[in-house]
Structure 1
Amino acid sequence: MAAFLQKLFKSRKPTAPDRKTASRAQPDAVPAEDKRADLRDEQLQALQAAPTQEVAASLAIDGLTADIRLRAAEQLQGAELLQRVQKQAKGRDKGVYQLVRQKLQVIREELTRQEAVSGTIATLISNARDQAKSDDTKLYGARLDTLLNQWAAVESSATPDQLSEFLQSVHRCRERVVDMQAARVEEKRQREQQLQRDETLALMAQTLEDLRHQPAEELASLASLDALQKTQENRWLEATRDTQVEKQQQKAYEASMMALRNYISAIRHITQAKESLLALSAALELEEANPEDRERALILLKEINWPQGFPAPALLEPARKLAGKPKAPIKANDDLKQQQASADSLKITLDQLEDALEAKQLKESRQLLKTAQQYFKALDHRHSKSFQARMQLLTAQLRELTDWQGFATEPKQIALCEQMEHLAEQPIEPEAKSERIKELQQEWRDLGGSSDRTLWSRFKQASDKAYEPCKTYFKAKSGLKKANLAQRKAICAELEHFVNSADWNTIDWKAVDHILQTARQEWKSAWPIEFRDNRQVQKQFDELLKKLEAPIDQEHQKNEALKRAIVEQAQALTEHQPLQEAMNKAKALQSDWKAVGITRHREDRKLWQAFRKACDEIFARRDTERSEQQQATKEADTAAEALLQQVASVNFDQNAQALEQTATALRSLDAAQVSAVVKERIQREKQRLSQAVSAQKLKAGISEWQTLVLVRTEGEAPAGGTFPDKWTALAESVGELSDQELVIRAEILAGVPSPEADQQKRMVIQVQRLAEGMGSAEKSDDALQSIEALVASWCIQSAGQPADPSLASRLNSALDNLITN
Structure 2
Amino acid sequence: MAAFIQKLFKNRKTVSLESQKASEKPQSNQPTEEDNRQQLRQQQERQLGASPEPSALAALAIEGVTSAIRLQAASQLNQEEHLQAVLKQAKGRDKSVYQTVKQSLQILKEQQASEAATQHRITELVGQAQDQARSEDTKLYEARLNALQDHWQSVENKASAEQTQQFLQAVHQIRERQKQLDETRQEEQRHLDQKQQRQETLELLQQTLNQLKAAVPSGLPSESALDALQKTQENRWLEATRDTQVEKQEQKQYEQAMLALRNYLGAVRRLNLARPQISELESNDTDSAQAAAKALLQEVAWPQEFPLPQALADLRALAGKPRTQPASDGTREQQQANVAALNTTLPKLEAALEAKQFRESRQLLKTAQNQFQALDDRHRKNVQAKMQLLAGQFRELSDWQGFATEPKQVSLCEQMEYLAEQPMEPEAKAERIKELQNEWRELGGSSDRTLWNRFKAASDQAYEPCKAYFEAKADLKQANLHKREAICEELERFLAQADWTSIDWKGAERIHQTARQEWKAAWPVDFRDNRQVQKRFDDLLKNLERPLDEERQKNEAAKQAIVERAQALIDHEPLQEAMDQAKALQSEWKRIGITRHREDRKLWQAFRQACDQIFERRDAQRSAQQQATEKADADARAVVAKYRDLGTEADEALINEAKTELKPLADMPLSRPVRGEVQDLRQHLTELGQRKKLKARLDNWKTLIKERVSGALAPEQVPSNWQNLVNGATSLTGRDLVIRAEIVAGQETPDSDQGRRMEIQVQRLAEGLGGGDQTSPEQELERLIALWCLHPEMNEQSAEHAGRLVQALESRLQH
TM-score, normalised to structure 1's length?
A: 0.36
TM-score, normalised to structure 2's length?
A: 0.36
